[in-house]
A and B are shown apart, each in its own frame.
Chain A
């Protein structure tokens, strides 16, 4: 079966109704800020290598990408 993971929020489903919505606050939350920083670094790492992943000769490649219509 599919994982019922929802990023750390799934356990709080019923509990949260009682606690109102305070725990969705992301402002001034150091964990959230840290996570954003991590992602920024991960994306920067991908940008460092992206030219080796991208198809060669972008202009020609993009120009040659022509599709017939669909639904």
Chain B
């Protein structure tokens, strides 16, 4: 399967109401989410509730359940009763309020390019939601940013999720993924003005998130953040699958950065599942090196490996690349799927560019594009790194508004490569991927909006006028595809017809 597997991203967006310092972010986040949910042509199923029954975020991949606080679905529902908004979209995504931020979780997809597409659709959903919220009388304009820190000590996540075979030992994941995560920053970084969690040391670094990671492995996502997160909540058959929850990434605007981030990670996971990696790439102090790599825009810092060798992040990435290339050639030869071939090509090309001159990737990677913009402005205005103007450029690079976001201005000028057409991203705001259960979820919400009362990653719940609600479980992420159920939807005008058809009565 190589780079192809069930995967998705979830991004918490920064939110502010300029001039309204006292604005409650939970309230403003809810306003944004509800404004989008109230837009019937985009999310006809906007009133459906989230079904928490199968959720267990405190379950640990190492085999135990966190005992500090029992997870209580009733409590989660109580959060919802407090008015924390939660909308399920016809594209199969979830738009909701989490930790005082609006968050967009993509629908499940099967390949890196689709993940870029539905992740970028999320940016547009956010932009549309804030536009919509601003039209409500009495509200101030709400700004949303796709980034990960306010540069004052707070960080919020851009998580990746990868479905893996349950039988793969978690120790292998930790051993082989840690050096990869420490070094993939060279192409996944979104760039950041400021060093340290509060950004108070002047300078520029590759990533938004590196300075917020303190331990190698753990369950936490908000304190003592770990390089490898152990949350084990598969949202599918737990005997067969694990959902690897990756919290170390930055929120990327660049389509190429996102493509490389999820594509190379998925390929490394396949090599871990196939047991073809060897332990010779272990880094002596991964937490310290994570920061050292991020703080070095020349990409020449040499990390110390467990075996005493000193290698750069690029050296380590080349080692992973070469193993991946040899693995794919050996297993698949000329039959390798196009997604995998493209990931390998882009991976090789970007490492080559970064090795010659990092700035030559200025139209491909976020951290390089942002640095180029900042250096240009610095030269013109003769500014130091501590200048608020430079911090504003950093912040505004991630503004989701096409007219204000500097990433979007670069794309409009042709200074940033993209992988998707405008049309592809726009249609993904409303249409689900066709090859996962997200198709079933999205199609139910589009076609039977008044009969769907709740949904989650692994279920859809209907009220079709029977004595009790009808819950359709979807424990297999690759079932409920257009191929499986497209014709069923076409011939069932009501949810009642559809349920009768699938239950045979």
Contacts and interface: CB of A to CB of B under 8 A. Distances in A.
Contacts of B336: 13
A47 B409 CA distance: 10
A43 B101 contact: no
A9 B352 CA distance: 14
B60 interface: no
Contacts of B415: 39, 42-43, 46
Nearest to B116: A2
Contacts of B388: 58-59, 61-63
B113 A9 contact: no
B331 interface: no
Contact of B346 (A6, A32, A63): A6
Interface string A39-63: 1001111110010011100110111
Contact of B152 (A17, A21, A59, A66): A66
B373 A69 contact: no
A66 B16 CA distance: 8
B100 A70 contact: yes
B373 A67 contact: no
Given A6-B419, A47-B380, A70-B101, A14 B414 contact: no
A65 B221 CA distance: 22
A39 B376 CA distance: 12
A19 to B, nearest CB: 13
Interface in B334-391: 334, 336, 338, 341-342, 345-346, 348-349, 352-353, 356, 360, 362-363, 372-373, 376-377, 380, 388-389, 391
Contacts of A21: 348
Given A45-B413, A50-B377, A17 B329 contact: yes
B113 A4 contact: yes
Contacts of A7: 346, 349, 417
A42 B18 CA distance: 30
B155 A69 contact: yes
B154 A68 contact: yes
Given A39-B363, A53-B404, A71 B156 contact: yes
Given A53-B396, A70-B157, 5 more contacts: A14-B334, A38-B414, A62-B392, A66-B150, A71-B247
